[in-house]
Amino acid sequence: MTYALGLLVALGGFWFVLSGQISPFFGGVAVISVIATMWLSARLKVIDRDGSPYHRAPQLLLYLGWLLGEIVKANVAVIARVVGPSHAIDPAMVEVKSSATSNLGRALFANSITLTPGTVTVDVIGANLKVHALVRENAGADSFDEMDRKSARTADPHRASGS
C-alpha cells in the first residue's frame, strides 16, 4: 500500500509539473488519468519497490549532481577536441562490464554513459555494455569504473558495499 501511495503522489505531482494547470477541468482530467494509471499498474502488478522508486530519491539526486559535473567536464573536453587545432578525434568501441545487480542499475549506467558527451552506449547484453567513445585514449574499460560504481550504488543500495 505504501508503494501505491507513493506512486499516486508521484503521478499527481508529475501531472501538475507538466501541465501547470489548476482549473477544475484539468484537475478532473488529472484525477481520471492518475486513477486509470494506478488501475493499469495494479493489473500489471508493477506497484512494488522497483515500480515506485521514490525511496531512492535522495541517492538519485546526489548521483544526478555528480553526473551533471561529469557532463560539464566531458563537454569541455569534447569542445577542446573538436575546436582545437589538432582535431584529435580517434573513435573506439569498447566493452564495459556493469557491476549493477538490477536492470535499473544497468539502465542507469548505460544512460549515464550516453548522456556524457563523447560516449554512447550502443548495445546492452546482460551485464556487458558496448560503448562508442570519441577518443580512444579515454575509452578504456577502467575509464567507466567510477560511473559504474556510483550508478550501481544508487540503483542497488541494498547490495554489499564491497562488490
DSSP E strand boundaries for 5-148 = 92-97, 119-125, 128-133
Domain extents for the chain? 2-44, 56-155
Q: Locate 60 and state its grid cell.
A: 538519485
**Entry pTM:** 0.70
- Secondary structure class of 131 (helix, strand, coil): strand
pLDDT of amino acid 163: 44
Q: For residue 139, with 0-12 CB atoms within 10 Å meaning exposed, 13-18 middle and 19 or more buried, which class applies?
A: buried
Conformation bin of residue 124: beta by default, left when phi > 0, alpha when psi is -120 to 50 = beta
**pLDDT values of the chain reduced to their tens digit, one per residue, 163 residues:** 667 777 788 888 888 898 888 889 988 998 999 999 888 888 888 776 665 666 777 888 999 999 999 999 999 988 888 887 777 788 889 999 999 888 888 999 999 999 999 899 999 998 899 999 888 877 776 889 999 999 988 887 766 444 4
pLDDT of amino acid 2: 65
